[in-house]
Amino acid sequence: MLPCCNALSSLTEVTIGCLTTDYIPAPVDVTWNSGSITTGIKNFPDTLSNNGKYISCSLLTISASDWKSKTYTCNVNHMSSGQKVDKTIPGTPPHIPSLNVDILQKTCSGNTNDQVELNCQGSNLTSKDVKIKWFINEKERLLPQELIIVDRFPFYGYLSRVTISRAEWNNGIRVKCQVTDTATSKSNEATARKCSDISNCLGIEVIMVPPTIEDLYIQKYAPIACTAYNLKQPTGSAFLFSYTGAPVKVISQTEDPQLNLNGTYSVTSILTVTPETWQSNTEFTCIFSFPGLIAPIIRTISKKTETKLIRPSIAVFSPTPEDIAKDELCIITCVAYGFYPESIYMGWVDEENVEISKDQHVNSEPKRNNRNQSYSATSLLSIPCSEWNEGKHYGCVVGHEAIPQTLSMKNIDKQSGNPSTVNVSVVLSDTNLVCH
């Protein structure tokens, strides 16, 4: 006898049974796994049935995790006849339906509010422990979210509610919600964007992504990406780029197709130009063709002309006394604030002006200050406290459009106790930062 499969997702223990019939005389001796299991057993007395023979039952209660991973054998010994019977019950994992994910826009399209509310919702979670990540144009964004878990026996439903700016939404950004059931490690995702009257939201989507500040000022090149989503097959994609003043034949690099969690494919082609070409307000066009499209999908992009540029102010803070006392990892905090527009690069260099690996620091997304419409961002650098106590110094490097062709750096070390009060302009030479 097996436990009910649908109950396994919500129970910590299950009960299996061994039924012995049609023996005479009584009794029979019943053990589990040749007697190695001694707890969780309940044996019922022999019962005389209508056919004049006996019947009995033995129940074994075990953890749900053991049931999923182990096998159990019921050993029956009819001592009067000397007959022995062993029956193995294999652990059978329950059928768990696939994780369901949908994104819905709650705010009406005609609403004039500055924010658009999006709900990521679904069902078939096996526990209340769930991880939900939001992405804007394939880049993870740490959006404040309201998470609601609903008990829908034998599984759970969920709802993650976030808001984004209406300006972004109207601009056609691609929003993705990625859900992971931590109990099973299974994931699924859904995407959404604002649709025009003639758009087919269930069809192929194509977006263009501009170069980042890091691309322009650190790597010294301007990659312009054109990505097609929701492709039913990995082959057949064709990209064609053009721009004013371009060569007769524009060469781009198309990456390998990527299989998404929802079973569709995405393909990206990258056109690389000089930073000067991008910053000259040139309009770039991507033409995407695919089998079954009635006409190619055309997208354009150019550098947005800003009416105002505000240079970021930079503040660097020492590790806390609590961190230093633990003598393990110390956190140095760099805050860039009061800048506009929001695109910014934040990195770190050591005392040799060598760039520190990105694995050692975490950057926040720029946050808007509604009072003056400027932005702020934070970078946290993790270092061994021993290095801090040795007096080594570190530099927080900031790149922004309002600091053209240069970067701004502010140093800090234990001896000074405070960051240097003068911003230093720096440029990159290979992988090193050289001060001027």
What's the CATH code of the domain at 26?
Answer: 2.60.40.10
Shared domain check, 58 and 18: yes
Neighbours of 16 (CB within 10 A): 19
The per-residue pLDDT for 419 is 52
Shared domain check, 186 and 269: no
- Do the beta carbons of residue 79 and residue 54 sit within 8 Å? no
Question: Which pairs with CB-CB distance under 8 Å and at least 24 residues apart come from 304-310?
Answer: 304/341, 305/281, 306/340, 306/341, 306/401, 308/340, 309/340, 309/341, 309/401, 309/402, 310/338, 310/339, 310/340, 310/374, 310/402
Report how far residue 19's alpha carbon sits from residue 55's, in angstroms, rounded to the nearest whole number. Answer: 7
Count structural domains, the chain.
4
The per-residue pLDDT for 326 is 80
Shared domain check, 219 and 167: no
Shared domain check, 298 and 211: yes
> The tokens of 158 are what?
């969920």
Helix or strand or coil: residue 324? helix
Q: Which residues of 44-67 are buried (b: 16+ CB within 10 A; e: fewer)?
A: eebeeeeeeebbbbbebebebeeb
The per-residue pLDDT for 423 is 44
Domain that holds residue 183: 100-193
- Does 166 fall in a domain? yes
Shared domain check, 156 and 125: yes
- Does 236 fall in a domain? yes
The per-residue pLDDT for 162 is 94
Shared domain check, 112 and 79: no
Which residues of the chain, if any, have pLDDT below 70? 1-11, 90-95, 106-113, 153, 195-202, 247-249, 404-406, 416-436
- Does 432 fall in a domain? no
pLDDT tens digits, 189-236: 998 888 653 444 447 889 999 999 889 888 889 999 999 998 988 999
The per-residue pLDDT for 248 is 57
Amino acid at 92: T
Shared domain check, 189 and 213: no
